[in-house]
């Protein structure tokens, strides 16, 4: 089964201008995702982009590039629509969707996910465990817990939260469901220390220290 990866990296970004190629400890941000893919069991690494600068950098780093139509690269465009465009234009059986804003991803994370696909899972996402903590809404109301009956942390089951680093699915399931995951879904757990994404300048400064 042919395994490829795709990194969705559009040019527009409001939080951090040109975020996907911002300098992160001497490398463009997208290089961390490309390197993780190239060092994994993925056969081809692709970048889907509408930006000529991202295209040039990605090609220089050894990735293939698919030009993404501008209507699939707006602030309101879904990642799933870009994945379906990719599926229409590139040959593969298994797709690893990697987000460039998660530079702490490692090749072995991807390989673990591919192994699960080979072991009868239809889709995979990456995540990390979370202990219960009291959450509040923005209008300062308890979110999914009762202030009169506050549970102890150890009495509430742990949860897995998506960390957004990567997703894996088959072409068949992607086209059928129109979603990045469907069918029998599994999770590759990553430690919290490698589950941060870059969305703000504050995130950028934090990850500079973690790398």
Which residue reads 């559009």 in tokens?
A: 10
CATH number, position 187? 3.90.550.10
Distance between CA atoms of residues 43 and 170, nearest Å: 15
Over pLDDT 70: what percentage of the chain? 100
| Three-class DSSP labels, 135-192 | CECCCCCECCCCHHHCCCHHHCCCEEEEEEEEEEEEHHHHHHHCCCCCCCEEEEECCH
Flag whether pLDDT at 15 surpasses 80. no
pTM reported for the whole predicted model: 0.92
C-alpha closest to that of 104 among 188, 6, 207, 199: 207
pLDDT band at 211 (very low <50, low <70, confident <90, very high): confident
Q: What is the pLDDT of residue 14?
A: 75
pLDDT tens, residue by residue, 42-51 = 999 999 999 9
**Boundaries of domain holding 21:** 3-210
Q: What is the pLDDT of residue 101?
A: 96
Structural domain total, the chain: 1
Yes or no: say if 170 and 96 are a contact pair by the CB < 8 Å rule.
Answer: no
Could you confirm whether 150 is annotated as catalytic? yes
Flag whether pLDDT at 24 surpasses 90. yes
* Mean pLDDT over each residue of the chain, to the nearest integer: 95
pLDDT tens, residue by residue, 88-113 = 999 999 999 999 999 999 999 999 99
pLDDT tens, residue by residue, 52-68 = 999 999 999 999 999 99
Q: What is the pLDDT of residue 149?
A: 93
pLDDT band at 147 (very low <50, low <70, confident <90, very high): very high
Q: What is the pLDDT of residue 158?
A: 93
Q: Which of 10, 129, 150, 194 is catalytic?
A: 150
């Amino acid at each position: 089964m042919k395994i490829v990866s795709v990194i969705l990296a559009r040019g527009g970004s409001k939080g951090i201008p040109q975020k996907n190629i911002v300098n992160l400890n001497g490398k463009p941000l997208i290089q961390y995702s490309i390197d993780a893919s190239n060092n994994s069991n993925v056969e081809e690494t692709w970048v889907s982009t509408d930006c000529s600068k991202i295209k040039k950098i990605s090609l220089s780093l050894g990735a293939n590039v698919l030009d993404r139509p501008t209507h699939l690269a707006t602030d309101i465009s879904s990642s799933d629509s870009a994945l379906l465009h990719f599926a229409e234009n590139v040959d593969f059986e298994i797709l690893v969707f990697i987000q460039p804003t998660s530079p702490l991803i490692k090749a072995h994370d991807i390989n673990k996910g591919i192994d699960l696909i080979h072991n009868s899972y239809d889709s995979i996402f990456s995540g990390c465990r979370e202990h219960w903590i009291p959450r509040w809404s923005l209008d300062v109301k308890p979110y999914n817990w009762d202030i009169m009956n506050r549970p102890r942390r150890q009495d509430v089951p742990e949860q897995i939260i998506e960390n957004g680093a990567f997703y894996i699915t088959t072409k068949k399931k992607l086209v059928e469901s129109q979603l990045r995951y469907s069918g029998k879904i599994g999770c590759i757990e990553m430690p919290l220390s490698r589950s941060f994404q870059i969305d703000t300048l504050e995130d950028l400064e934090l990850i500079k220290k973690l790398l």
